[in-house]
Structure 1
Amino acid sequence: MDGNTGTGHGRVVAALDGVSMRRHSSGRLILDAVDWTVRAGEHWALLGPNGAGKTSVLRLVGATAFPTTGTVDVLGHRLGRVDVRDLRALIGHVSTAQRVPGDLTGHAVVLTGHTGTVQPLWRKYDDEVRERAHALLAELRIKDLADREYGVCSGGQRARILIARALMADPALLLLDEPFNALDLPSREDLIDTMRHLASARPELSTVTVTHHLEELSPAIGHALLLREGRVLARGAIEGVLTAERMTACFGRPVEVTRHAGRWLARADGNA
């Protein structure tokens, strides 16, 4: 297993130390002695088969779940010793499962990120806040979606609107839960390009992206965490984690891994 050494010397944004989680209803172990550290400016991929514990790890660093044992520190605060409602306001979260009214314009959806609400609270948005929402749409290269209804936007456009919404709080940590789900090839590439641009424009921002496909990883992602059956199989610099040997061990079947121009590809090796 790769250690957390070599993951940079910036300030710690999130840290899991000896974290285990059990399901309340059945007592089943979901996470088992997970150690993991994310530092400022790092971009992580969170990978593993279904049921590996990816969502549980994301919920912990997003302050929406608590460990059964071990400690979780996020943005300098320890879960269990901080009002998680205040902490969640400092963490950006993007998921295709987010409830967004389809009749809202792109600009209105981004505005709701200021109040953390589903519906706009118009009295809370002064001219400065409204201009900030426009600036974020421009930064993510979707300013033409400001007046378009969210419901008629493509999947890729929606994903970028949700990222702009998450950035309204100027978070130090951005969590992306399968943001590429159901995207076609052009939309996927647009979103990957957006993530690469974001990493360049915001050097202190840390991101964690949950995905099932290596092809969806932006070249900006420099670290990876592999989970299997609730345990850390490997973590650290992406080149040392996304190897054929480790991916094979993680997914339980022979996997061939290649990299070209900073992009990754994994496929089952039928000849192995």
Structure 2
Amino acid sequence: MPPAARGLLVAVVLVVLVVGLVVGAGALLAGLLRPGELAAQERCRAEVASPDDPDVLLSASLAPDQTANAALVVGLANRRGLPARAATIGVATAIQESGLRNIDYGDRDSLGLFQQRPSQGWGSEAQVQDPVYSTGAFYDALVEVDGWQDLEVTVAAQEVQRSGFPEAYADHEPEGRALASSLYGLSEASLWCELRPVEEPGDPAAALDGLLAALDPAGPPGWQVAATPGDGTVVLAATGAQPERAAWALAQSVVAHAAAHDVVGVRTGGSAWSRDDGTAGWVDAEPVEAGTVVVEVAAAGA
């Protein structure tokens, strides 16, 4: 076979192999993902202006389950009356330690969101795998660190964790700050999720009960159920000295838990987030009563 023909044959074979690999990989990926996931992955995002430089954006992009865990970590700091700095440290630590997932494995006997070791006095295996307990234990240790509020995030986290990689926490400070600012209500309309539609709605009352259980005892403080109009809707009222800020903390915490509890809409102030248009983030909407959050979950036939 002439050299030119031989070269052409090799090129054709290579093209066929590459196309086959691409098609095969695509088919494998399609088989691993549920319908629709190739077109749109579920994702949540927090985006705030840096207090150090308003032209710089601090952001975090997480899966819905990670975002729900971030809301828990931030909410517990807020309930304790700790400054948002504590939540920043907590979230940055949990991202580094577990990827913000309550995992049941780790280095040696490390477990849970913060990879706490029962053998080091953090609690029993069951306790350190309870996100509320483990987060509380982290903050118990953090506030015992002298001057923790003024330490760099990575230094404060290392004083608690005693990690073999003490500088790694700094990598996640921007994410921690974005999530803390959003979920404390310091930055309005700054956390949203892009979620698939609820395909098979269940009992809306059960969905709301699950959501309220997630917010209490691990959500932002100072709120109560103000009304239950029915049809999968509940009105939550923020209380305290800054109800409008508290309402934003509550509203964005609800969005953080939206995926697991069939939430399809959230409104506060003159803004709304809709599951049907999650990519748009928060949009202008008819105002609701100041300091309130209107939550809607999916209902069959709606």
- Asked whether the two chains share a fold, i.e. TM above 0.5, the reply is no
Greater relative contact order (Cα 8 A, min sep 6): structure 1 or 2? 1
Structure (1 or 2) with the larger CA radius of gyration: 2
Higher helix content, 1 or 2: 2
TM-score, normalisation: structure 2: 0.28
